[in-house]
Amino acid sequence: MNTNIWILNHYASDMYFDHGGRHYNFAKFLRRAGYAPVIFGANSKHGKAERFFETDALWEEHVAEEIDTPFVFVRARTYTGNGKQRVLNMIDFYRNVKKAAKEYAAQHGRPDVIFASSVHPLTLVAGIQLAKQFGVKCVCEVRDLWPESIVVYSNRFTKDNPLIKLLYRGEKWIYKRADALVFTMEGAYDYITEQGWEKDIPRSKVHYINNGVDLEQFDYNTEHFHVDDPDLDDPNTFKVVYTGSIRKVNNLGLLLDAAKCVTDPRVKFLIWGDGDEREVLERRVRDAGLTNVVFKGRVEKKYIPSIVSRADANLMHGTPGPLFRFGVSPNKMFDYFAAGKPILMDFETKYNPVEQYQAGIILNSLSGEAAAQTLQRMAKWPEEEYARNCQNARRAAGDFDFKKLTDKLLNIIESLPERKS
C-alpha cells in the first residue's frame, strides 16, 4: 500500500481556504481510505500581488483540519497579468518545491508516490525529478495541454516557432517519463496519436479522470445553505439558471439574444455571478425592456447547490474551440449534474458527458433564436421526459462523485509496479 501520497499543484493553495477543489477532494477521500496525503502549492496568490501568508520562509505548513491534510505553502514571487513575472513565478515554484520537498521529507518522512498536476508543465517536471530522487513512482496529471493551448489560442505562436517546438519536446519527455498519466479530458489519447507519439506512450499508460463533484458536500450545502429568492420559488415560471463569471469571454450576450426571442411568458433567465461585463449586459436588458432576465449578483460557492437544485434547467454556456475535440471538464457541469436538473449546453464538444448521459440538450447552432426555441421545447417536455433527464443528470453526478473518482486514482496508484532497487 502506497500510504504517503504527495500532491504537487502550483495553484492548490486556494483550496485550503475554499475548503474544496479537485485535490482537496482527492485528499479528503484518500484520508478516509487510510492514506496520508500532503498537498504542496505556492504561497503566492494567482494573478495578485499578494501572498497567502506573510513569510519569507521557503515553506510553511498549515493543516486543513476538516480533512486532516497538511498543505505546504511554498515560496514564489507574486505577480499580476500573464507576462514575465508570471513565468518567473512558475520557475520559482519549480525550484522551491523541490527544495521544500527535501526538507519536508527530512522532518516528516518520504513519500511513497508523487502525484504531480499541471496546469503548467514545470510542476510535472518537478514531480518526475523528485520521484527519481526519492526512488518512488510519479503519476502526472494533465489538466491543460501545453503548448497546444498556446498555439491554438495565441496569435503570436505557431507550431514552427522554435520555443514551441522545444515545449512540445518537453511535453513528450514528461509523458514518457511519468509512470502513469491522468488526463481530465477523455480524448487524451486522440491528442497523443495526433502528435505521433503513440509508439513511445502506450495507451495502457494513459488514464482518464474528469473533474467532478463531492456529492456529500453538495447535498449538505443544499440543505444547510438556503438562498431565499422569490424568483427561484415561483412555481409559475420555467427557471433557466446560469451561475459563473460574467466576462466578455463568457459571451452571455447570446443568453440575452435568446431572451429577446422567447415568446413563452413562463421562461425566465436568472443569472448569478459577477464580472466586468455585468454592467454592460444589465444596460442591454434595460434598453431592450427585457422582463425575463434578472441579474442576481455574486454569492458564495456554498450557496450554489441551493440555487441550481431549484432551477428547471441549468445553462452550460461556452465558446467552442479546437481543443474541445478532446473533451471538456468544466467544474460547473458537475454541479449541474448534482442538481438533478436538465442541462442546456450551447456548444458542441466531443466526449460530451451531457450527451453520453442524456441529461439535457446540446445546441448545434450558436444563435439566440435556436436557444430560445430549444428552451421553449424543453419547458413543454412531458413530465416523463423531464423526469428522465433529471434522473440521468443525478446518475452522472454519481459516476463523477469524488469518492468514486478517488477510487479510480487509487486503482492507478496501487497498480503501479514497484521500482527496482
Q: Does domain 215-399 have CATH number 1.20.58.1880?
A: no
Burial profile 54-89: b = 16 or more Cβ within 10 angstroms, e = fewer: eeeebbbeeebeebebbbbbbbbbbbeeeeeebeeb
The DSSP H or E segment spanning 178 is none
User: Tell me, what DSSP letter sits at residue 44?
Assistant: B
Whether the full predicted model's pTM is greater than 0.85, yes or no, is: yes
The residue extents of the domains of the chain are 4-212+402-414, 215-399
DSSP 207-257: EE----B-HHHHHHHHHHS----TTTT-TTSEEEEEES--SGGG-THHHHH
- pLDDT, tens only, 338-370: 999 999 998 889 999 999 999 999 987 778 999
Split at pLDDT 50, 70, 90, the class of 420 is low
Identical fold for domains 4-212+402-414 and 215-399, yes or no, is: yes
Expressed in percent and rounded to 5, the helix, strand and coil fractions of the chain are 45, 15, 40
Q: Would you tell me how many other CB atoms lie within 10 Å of the CB of residue 351? A: 19
- pLDDT, tens only, 263-298: 999 999 999 999 999 999 999 999 999 999 999 999
How far apart (Å, rounded) are the C-alpha atoms in residues 381 and 48? Answer: 47
Give the type of residue at 318: G
The pLDDT of residue 67 is above 90: yes
* The CATH fold of domain 4-212+402-414: Rossmann fold (3.40.50)
- pLDDT, tens only, 12-48: 999 999 999 999 999 999 999 999 999 999 999 999 9
Show the cell assigned to 80: 499580476
Quick one: CA dihedral 203, 205, 206, 208, positive or negative? Answer: positive
Backbone φ and ψ for 410, nearest 5 degrees, come out as: -65, -35
Contact 183, 206 (CB under 8 A): yes
The pLDDT of residue 242 is above 90: yes
The pLDDT of residue 319 is above 90: no
Contact 3, 108 (CB under 8 A): no
